[in-house]
Chain A
Amino acid sequence: MKNVLFAGAAVSAMFAGQAGAQDLMFPVGEGDFHWDSYQAFADANDLTGQTISITGAWTGNEKERVEAVLDYFEAATGATVEYSGSDSFEQDIVISAEAGSAPNLAAFPQPGLAADMAKKGLLTPLAEGTGDWVKDNFAAGQSWVDLGTYADKDGNDQLYGFFYRVDLKSLVWFVPEAFEEAGYEIPTTMEDLKALTQQIVDDGGTPWCIGLGSGAATGWPATDWVEDLMLRTQPPSVYDQWVKNEIPFDDPAVLGAINEFGWFARTEGYADGGPEAVASTDFRDSPTGLFSLPPKCYMHRQASFIPAFFPEGTTVGEDVDFFYFPSYADKDLGNPVLGAGALFAVTNPSEATNVFLEFMKLPIAHEAWMAQGGFLTAHAGVNTALYNTDSERAMGEILQNATTFRFDGSDLMPGEIGAGAFWTGMVDYTTGKDAGEVAAAIQSRWNEIK
């Protein structure tokens, strides 16, 4: 019975593979993609008959897009790629890795979990030289190497993660027409942004839509706020110390950033519905306030993925646009950018996994998704003309022009903090608890797991 099951799966997978190979999204040789390096890769590698399994958190239309990229790998090598996406990726990968049935590769949506798994010895380090390659070929290469380097079981640092897709967090979304009609200018400094916030209130409007609701993950959007504000009130070195808990969570520097967030979320009239609604509104429903008539709010701070949740038929760049969440003019901290990203790590090595990671170094692996939209990359060798929209190109530029790039801190903290205590703590803070009390509680939790 078991053999029949497996044979059935293999046969169906084979057909799926062939079908994928036949219709590539962008025909080879057409358009301004980097075809030469792709051809050379195809000529050099033959993995016919081999299968490579990948899991990730990309589902729905993101899954379709990543599969379109994987088709190029299949076409070049003859290997079969089985991608499966899961909304509860974080649980699934731990279960399957600990049970010894892990896929070959996993696309981790954030590094914290990958670091945890590396420590448990569930990941395999990337091939020699990958680190140097990333350093040379990614914008701000060293930071991406650092973000992918974790301690292994014996405490030695090794490179495990290869960053693929980057999300930009420091964005404020707005409806240009609403700004135009009310005569508001896009603020370029935090001082201006705060003045604009007050001005909108004086004009009888509500400046912000903030929604922290996300089921079991309720509270995470607030952590992004705090991280962004941390980078705007403290030098990056303090941010790094905070993320590593070298300064306590209830350090005045952190409390300052939390209270800055409170200025936006807790001040009467600043956020749509007041703090109570902020704490419970689903982050997916929150941006719709921008589009209602009359507008429920004028601005919404959220990462680059949020257009997926705008009302149907909304065009980014036309109906809605974004500006960089500005920094203080008087603080002289440059233009810090907060981001996040997905990384590939090897959970079950085979010959094909190394070839696959070679493929990931090719510009085409990035361009094929860039051209489909909803994708930013740190790969410096790609043709930015291929970005699907002008706004994505603009985001790419924000990424390139950042004087400081920092990764989403909650993703780097241990899971209990960054995906637990920090979330719930921010909900408590938003609904009225004192920042010092909340931060002290998070710190005591952190002490427990040290």
Chain B
Amino acid sequence: MGPLMQGVLTILIGVFGCVGYFYFSNLVLDRLIFPARNDDAGRNINRANAVRPWLFLAPALFALCLYLVYPVVGSFWRSMYDRSGDVFVGMQNYKNLSVDPEFRSAVFNNFLWVLIVPAMATFLGLVIAQLTDKLKWGGIAKSLIFMPMAISFVGASLIWKFVYSNDPNIGMLNAIRIFFGADSPIDPLQVPFWNNVFLMVILIWIQTGFAMVILSAALRGIPEETIEAAILDGANPFQIFFKIQVPQIMGTILVVWTTITILVLKVFDIVYTMTGGNFGTQILPSYMMEYMFRDDGRATAVALVIMVLVLPVMIWNIAQARKEMR
């Protein structure tokens, strides 16, 4: 039996197993444990309904706890130990971080990333989704803009080497500068501050496709009648877009924003492969990678700092969920 057969078999087992689990667990709940008959019918239905969400959630929660919560708790524990993992040092790793100038510049840069990348990617994604919506060749345009999503990070960093290289024979940016009369090439990745922006462009280039796909689906979800009514009222296309369509999909826009924000806090590859964190471009994920497997105490401390930075996003999401429940 080749791995391919195994794969097919696993899909079948997985799919039928999942569906079967949900179906039969429901059946068992309704028929056997809390049957909706006799005198207890009303109470039993209520009881069953209290249990059911947990049936639906169980496999997901199990997988999440095992694959994510357990490592996080373990990491928190690990961050209290020194680099070899033998000596308990309490908060020492965090203290060391707070005085490390490289860490501070990484935090600062990361704030720039979090402010700029999600905003730009979402905005461009929204604009492109709207513009391509009515075009005949919109599908092709979308696929082309989506393409960077499909390129591996290694491929992407190679692509941008052809743009940013300081050799005008390879780097497009320098070739253009020389063409317009600049006398000597510069290295875009060594220009203070702007090098951060140049690196952000790469992630925006990749993530716009993501925003576009999700937002395009959301835009199509807006009922035609709403828009037609607005047109009849004499609204111009800009008014329709900003006053009707955007508010309608605000929820999705914020989801896309959140997702990309979180991604920004996670992606180390771009900085790691393009500059290795040199020239003042360090960000937290790549800073963490520098310590990973060498000083796991400090690496895990950085990881937990990153998780703390997500706190505002989490709080916002709780607020959202509360609002929906009312």
Contact = CB atoms under 8 A, between A and B. Distances in A.
A218 B276 contact: yes
A77 B84 CA distance: 39
Nearest to A112: B294
Instruction: Kindly state the interface size class of chain A when it binds its partner.
Output: 35 or more
Given A119-B84, A216-B276, A431 B190 contact: yes
A4 B84 contact: no
A420 B294 contact: yes
A95 B189 CA distance: 32
Contacts of B6: 1, 4-5
B198 interface: no
Interface in B1-46: 1, 3, 6
B290 interface: yes
A427 B278 contact: yes
7 contacts: A91-B292, A215-B274, A218-B275, A219-B278, A280-B189, A415-B295, A423-B276
User: How many of chain B's residues touch chain A, expressed as a range?
Assistant: 20 to 34
B279 interface: yes
B84 A120 contact: yes
A281 B161 CA distance: 11
B166 interface: yes
A316 to B, nearest CB: 25
Nearest to A420: B290
A27 to B, nearest CB: 36
A419 B84 CA distance: 17
A277 B273 contact: no
Interface string B291-302: 111110000000
A260 interface: no
Given A90-B293, A424-B276, A448 B190 contact: no
Contact of A216 (B85, B272, B291): B272
A410 to B, nearest CB: 14
A327 to B, nearest CB: 31
Contacts of A218: 275-276, 278
Interface in B101-119: none
Given A1-B6, A420-B290, A276 B84 contact: no
B276 A276 contact: no
B163 interface: no
Given A276-B187, A448-B96, A116 B294 contact: yes
B278 A277 contact: no
Interface string B93-104: 000100000000
Interface in A214-228: 214-219
A95 B293 contact: yes
B148 interface: no
A178 interface: no
A428 B280 CA distance: 9
A414 B291 CA distance: 12
B285 interface: no
Contacts of B291: 416
Nearest to B2: A8
Contacts of B190: 276, 279-280, 431
Q: Is the interface of B mostly helix, strand, loop or mixed?
A: loop
A21 B290 CA distance: 42
A342 to B, nearest CB: 19
B186 interface: yes
Given A4-B6, A276-B190, A280-B189, A416 B275 contact: no
A277 B187 contact: yes
A427 B282 CA distance: 14
Nearest to B10: A1
Given A4-B1, A273-B166, A423-B276, 11 more contacts: A5-B3, A8-B3, A217-B276, A218-B275, A219-B278, A279-B187, A279-B278, A420-B294, A424-B278, A431-B279, A448-B96
Contact of B166 (A91, A277, A415): A277
Contact of A215 (B85, B166, B273, B293): B273
B77 to A, nearest CB: 15
Interface in A344-397: none
Interface in A84-112: 90-91, 94-95
B125 interface: no
A40 interface: no
A449 interface: yes
Contacts of B166: 273, 276-277, 280-281
B276 A215 contact: yes
Nearest to B277: A424
A426 to B, nearest CB: 10
A279 B279 CA distance: 10
Contacts of B273: 215-216
A420 B102 CA distance: 12
Contacts of A420: 290, 294
Nearest to B184: A274
B248 to A, nearest CB: 44
A277 B169 CA distance: 13
B113 to A, nearest CB: 18
Interface in A396-438: 414-416, 419-420, 423-424, 427-428, 431
A93 to B, nearest CB: 9
A446 B272 CA distance: 22
Contacts of A423: 276
Most B Cβ at <10 Å: residue of A119, A280, A415, A431:
A280
Contacts of A8: 1, 3
B168 to A, nearest CB: 11
Interface in B159-203: 166-167, 186-187, 189-190
